[in-house]
Chain A
Amino acid sequence: MSSLHPLRLPGSRILKEPKPWRLWRSLLLLGLWILATESRASAHSSSRAFLHLRRTTEAIHGRVEIPLRDLEERLGLDANDDGSLTWGEIRRREQDLCDYVTRRLVFEAKGGRVPLGLAPVEVSRHEGEPYLSLDLNVSPIPQTDEFRIRYAILLDQDSLHQCLIQAEWSGETRIAAHGREEVSFPAVSTAVPGIPWTSLVTEGAHHIWTGYDHLLFLFALLLPSVLHRTRTGWVPAGRSRDVVREVVKVVTAFTVAHSITLCAATLGWIHLPGRFVETTIAASILLAALANLTGSPPPNSMDSPWRFNLPPWIRPRGWMVAFTFGLIHGFGFASVLETLGLERGGLLHPLIGFNIGVEAGQLAVVALFLPVALWLRSSQLYRTAVLPGASILILLLAGGWMLERALDLRFMPF
């Protein structure tokens, strides 16, 4: 056994020469006795922010999300000091929060700072932790090869803080951290030539199924396709063949129309403001559903159970409605395609791929709907319950969306 063995220490000179109390106390005052290795209870993740970026031809859109706890520590948001952060306490400091982010999140292109616009603050959660969320907008972007982001949020108060920066167009995630405050991304989408056909087609089909406003519009148009309007109200359509022909006409008209505007918008020929497009799409759904509820021509008839007398222009044949409003839906599709981060260069193949996807998704909807509708068309209930019931439901949803989008509110569940 070595003479240094610690169990011999008590008997060694160390204990025979007790050190003055003064020294011991000064050690304790350090407050730092690492008395045991604390690794076993090492804990709790470090602070992490997220920056997600998409780009269109003119701007970068994105969202930055920052842990509220850390912002509170820096900015003292808990005004009444009760240990709980309420929405009111955050809202009243909205300007300070935006200033803090603007000062510490800088986008540069060609050596110059690109102005950063921030939307109203929101709250979100990641892994159960509350976050402050800010939608942002960086524009105008000069012609450049790369963007640089200088990130300084929270880094001066927490050297372990990190921000995960994800740029959709390049498909990369970078980390900004202490000592690595500058992060750059190529300005031109490196992903464009690489977006495979399959993913474009999937994206298009996916959009039809998850962009429920298009789906509802289609439903509203298709619901009466197995019926006929008569002077006395709806009656079942006769032959299935006629029904199918009618459906084909409606779907084709919708397709042709939205393809036209999708191309026009993506190629940059026409540009409509997003809010206008979204509101009009909601209006189109509303009108299509409303048309279903006005049972019978002519306009003066009192037979309609709903007593609506709409001007004749919204009660033309289904395919005309489909075409007219299809034009506006095309702009909606274009904005989705834009978020995939395409450059004006190689547009043809994404355009075709995306459109094929949209059509395929649409056909799937029709294929699901049509057999059921044909099967049910002669039942009284289809006319008295399904058609009006579903139309009212669609009408309410569309009305909600329209108000929400027109007035820039947020109250709908989806």
Chain B
Amino acid sequence: MYPRLSIRVAAAILALPCLVADAAGTADAPRRPQSDSEIVAKLRPGALPASERESRQWRLDLERNPTNLPLALASARRSVQRARDEADPRQLGAAMAALAPWWSDNEPGPEVRVLRAIIRQSLHEFEPAIRDLEAAVQGSPRHAQAWLTLCSLHTLRGNFASARGAALQLGKLSDPFTTLAVAAQIGSLTGHAAQAQSSLTQLLESEPAGTPPELRRWAETLTAEIADRRGDFDAAGNHFRKAIRLGPRDPYLLATYSDFLLDRGHRGEVADLLQGWDHADGLLLRQVEATGNPALARELGDRLDSAFARGDKLHLREAARFELRIRHRPGRALTLALENWDLQREPADVRILFEAATAARDRKALETVRTWMESTGLEDIHIPHPPTQNHRE
């Protein structure tokens, strides 16, 4: 009897701590670390860069004297630049904060107006951004930056006639390189992709002396995207690689090059390319698609869900893609893609709408895509045309 009983006893002994431990739970509560040397937060790879030290000083000066306009503009510009370079919306908030005294002003100066429009564009508040820019160019018709931003906003929204108008004005004020590239971009979206690709290629070959690398990188990226849409994958790959050589830390370029690599099945390269960019949701999405890492997928899902709960519209396109490709919920993906469609109409927006509509077998949404492609003349090998033919109920 004893041996059998002792097994029971042993089981009981084992069960008691389990019961207690289970009741204790595993809460991730606030704590005071034991050791002073424990690293609580990793802020950056090394010392604070001089430019950032300067920005901090500017911000402290602004705190004392918030209506110092030149300082506020310099500080806001620096923050907008960082927001783009690091894909960090906190810097947009910092730029807004620098312009706070003028933010709700109905008649601010043109400089504030243009900066405010750029920030609003980044926050996807497109209508107010366009209003600001239109007012700015009315007051200062020779403001090249205002025309450029207006042009890219109209392009993003798919208002190509207005975009051409802005490009024409820009052409009177800006350098030929920029003007040609902007024109080619609009052309590539309106039925002239082949011409656009060849004129951009020519432009890049006969590069004017002293063209800044950012400008070149942008043009290379643009050319690569056009070539990719045309199915000229060799050229696309070449231009992407040239762009990467000109500046490997451009979040926009990294995202679009990753998409190219993912389409071509080069998942390993994407994982390498995006090392250290986990903080950027859009790039994390590409990394999840490349690696299928479930922990990263969960983290991205949490971030997108909480952004959505906050009413944050910055992530609609990414969220739709996540729902479609990772969570496999075509219905939800389509809802988000349609909501995104009301905001922006770049080729990537057309594509996610097409993919979600196909997966959800939604005729009406597919019709929207088809009508758009026909009316604009957009060519994109990733969106078989006309989509209704691929669709069987």
Contacts and interface: CB of A to CB of B under 8 A. Distances in A.
B264 interface: no
A19 B173 contact: yes
B183 A393 contact: no
Interface in A80-130: 81-88, 90-91, 120-125, 127-128, 130
Interface stretch (B29-37, B231-239, B326-334, B384-392): B29-37
A400 B199 CA distance: 77
Contacts of A27: 144-145, 174-175
Given A6-B186, A127-B306, A43 B280 contact: yes
A38 B256 CA distance: 11
A39 B317 contact: yes
Nearest to A35: B218
Contact of B36 (A14, A43, A88): A88
Contacts of A125: 28
A41 interface: yes
A156 B41 CA distance: 23
Contacts of A346: none
Given A41-B255, A393-B17, A81 B48 contact: yes
Interface string A314-336: 00000000000000000000000
Given A30-B145, A32-B145, A380-B2, A47 B41 contact: no
Interface string B147-168: 0110010011000010011011
B33 A158 contact: no
Nearest to B186: A6
Contacts of B12: 372, 376, 386
B184 A6 contact: yes
A209 B176 CA distance: 74
Interface stretch (A65-73, A140-148, A305-313): A65-73
A124 B29 contact: yes
B89 to A, nearest CB: 5
Contacts of A393: 16-17
A42 to B, nearest CB: 5
Interface stretch (A210-218, A265-273, A274-282): A210-218
Contacts of B100: 156, 159, 178
Nearest to A8: B183
Interface in A24-59: 24, 27-28, 30-48
Interface string B208-223: 0000101100100110
Given A23-B173, A45-B306, A210 B23 contact: yes
B344 interface: yes
Band of interface residues on A: 35 or more
A82 B218 CA distance: 33
Contacts of B48: 78, 81, 83
A376 B9 contact: yes
Given A39-B317, A124-B30, A385-B9, A130 B93 contact: no
A86 B20 contact: no
B378 interface: no
Contacts of B47: 81-83
Interface string A384-396: 0110011001000
A239 interface: no
Interface of B: 2, 5-6, 8-10, 12-13, 16-17, 20, 23-25, 28-33, 35-48, 56, 59, 63, 77, 80-81, 84, 86-90, 92-94, 96-97, 100, 103, 115, 118, 121-122, 124, 144-145, 148-149, 152, 155-156, 161, 164-165, 167-168, 171-176, 178-180, 182-187, 192, 195-196, 199, 212, 214-215, 218, 221-222, 251-252, 254-256, 279-283, 299, 302-303, 306-307, 310, 312, 314-315, 317-318, 344, 346, 348
26 contacts: A6-B185, A7-B183, A23-B144, A32-B80, A34-B118, A35-B152, A35-B214, A39-B346, A40-B252, A40-B348, A41-B252, A42-B315, A44-B88, A45-B307, A45-B312, A46-B90, A84-B42, A86-B37, A156-B97, A159-B94, A162-B310, A212-B23, A372-B12, A376-B9, A379-B2, A385-B9
